[in-house]
Amino acid sequence: MDSEELREEYSKSRRRKYIFIAACVVLTFIFAWISLGVGTRELSFSEVFRLLDLHFSGYEFPERSQDAFDDNIIWDYRIPRTLLAVIAGAILAIAGSVMQSVMKNPLADPYTTGVSSGALFGVAIAMVLGFSVGHGIFGSFGTIANAIIFSLIPVVVIVVMSPFFRKSPSTLILAGVATSYLFNSLTALMLVSTNEETLEEVYHWEVGNLAELGWEPVWVLLVVLIIGAGILWPMANKLNLMSLDDKDAKALGLDGRKLRVLCLTVLTLMTSFVIAFTGIIGFVGLVIPHMVRMVLGSDNRFIIPAAMAFGSFFLLFCDIIARSVDVGASIPIGVVTSLIGAPIFLYLIIRQKKGIW
């Protein structure tokens, strides 16, 4: 194959990748529109469009009218929930794809460092013991502050201890597993003696939830996504070098150990904010990067944006299924992502080509 044929093949490969990313974005917009009509009050496309048009034009709905009720449902519940699914899905997917790259392990996900166990421990402390960090400062968001702060403890422990085990990927994963078991055992000790109501609250948070969270998490997580993606995406070429041995990467001018610690810190912060607001949503950060790599290969310059787009679509799709199956929206989103993600992951394990890693 001569140089001209190589250039043509490379151009075709890039076009396929761009088409895939664009298709994921388009699907996300389509399903976002669909999600506005799904729930306890079913609304058609035309009704949603009419209500949005009236809202943007500044029309004042008559009090206690059906239109006023529908407008409240759309703007106060469905639009925030839809945006939250899109943003949270993008954060978890980008965190999973980068985590798998820096850990050189296809089983890594955003929770590998123990961030979810630490956050759960913080929530349990707030709900069982009534203690939250900075209660006077954060007020009603004390539980969320607990989840964020305690989720950072495992990665701080790993970073502090990393000089003792040379920051290798395998030992970082093992350290994350150890801290996860430690925090899970502490959480279990607290929940053993608590009442049923508190157990139910902790359980619903543990399996993930997007219902009735309002607009505040949307703006916070949007800022987190912009900052996190702005840091990680420009490092895509360096992440590609992380597939090499640390010594080989260092010979090419990359300090893999420092980059790994930096990425772990950024990923933990991004993931901790998602967990604090939505709870633990599994399989998004684990399955989505695998599915994207099967289509696009292993180039992180395309993996990162594609994972963000596909992760948004996937979590939004799961949320629509949860609301369609139970219009009362009582099915946690984490249950749906696990029911869909687990079989997909098993299939990917069978089909996955070793060359991707």
Q: What tokens does 35 get?
A: 């999600």
Q: What contacts 24, CB < 8 A, 6 or more positions away? A: 306, 309, 310, 312, 313
Per-residue pLDDT tens digits of the chain, which is 357 residues long = 567 777 777 788 888 899 999 999 999 999 999 998 887 778 778 888 888 888 788 778 788 788 788 888 888 888 999 999 999 999 999 999 999 888 877 778 888 888 888 888 888 888 888 777 655 555 457 778 888 888 888 888 877 776 665 556 777 777 888 888 888 888 888 888 778 877 877 877 788 888 777 888 999 999 999 999 999 999 988 888 877 766 766 777 777 778 888 888 899 889 989 988 888 898 898 899 988 988 888 888 999 999 999 999 999 999 998 888 765 556 788 888 888 888 888 887 777 654 444
CA angle 139, 141, 147 (to 5 degrees): 130
CA neighbours within 13 Å on the CB side: how many for 36? 23
User: Which residue type does 157 have?
Assistant: V
Cα–Cα distance between 98 and 304 in angstroms, integer?
A: 8
pLDDT of residue 109: 86
Given a contact cutoff of 8 angstroms between Cβ atoms, the answer to whether 290 and 3 are in contact is no
pLDDT of residue 205: 79
Give me the helices (H) in the chain, please.
3-35, 45-56, 66-73, 79-103, 115-124, 135-138, 142-165, 169-192, 196-206, 216-232, 236-241, 246-251, 256-278, 284-296, 300-325, 333-351
Q: How many Cβ atoms sit within 10 Å of the Cβ of residue 10?
A: 10
Q: What is the pTM of this model?
A: 0.89
pLDDT of residue 357: 47
Q: Does domain 3-356 bear CATH number 1.10.1750.10? A: no
Domain ranges of the chain: 3-356
Cα–Cα distance between 332 and 95 in angstroms, integer?
A: 22
The conformation of residue 61, written as its DSSP 8-state character, comes to: P
pLDDT of residue 93: 94
pLDDT of residue 135: 56
Given a contact cutoff of 8 angstroms between Cβ atoms, the answer to whether 205 and 140 are in contact is no
Given a contact cutoff of 8 angstroms between Cβ atoms, the answer to whether 343 and 336 are in contact is no
CA 320, 325, 331, 332 dihedral sign is: negative
Cα–Cα distance between 150 and 127 in angstroms, integer?
A: 14
If you write DSSP's letter for every residue of 190-233 in order, what string do you get?
HHHTS-HHHHHHHHHHHT---TT--SHHHHHHHHHHHHHHHHHG
If you write DSSP's letter for every residue of 285-305 in order, what string do you get?
HHHHHHHHHHHH-S-HHHHHH
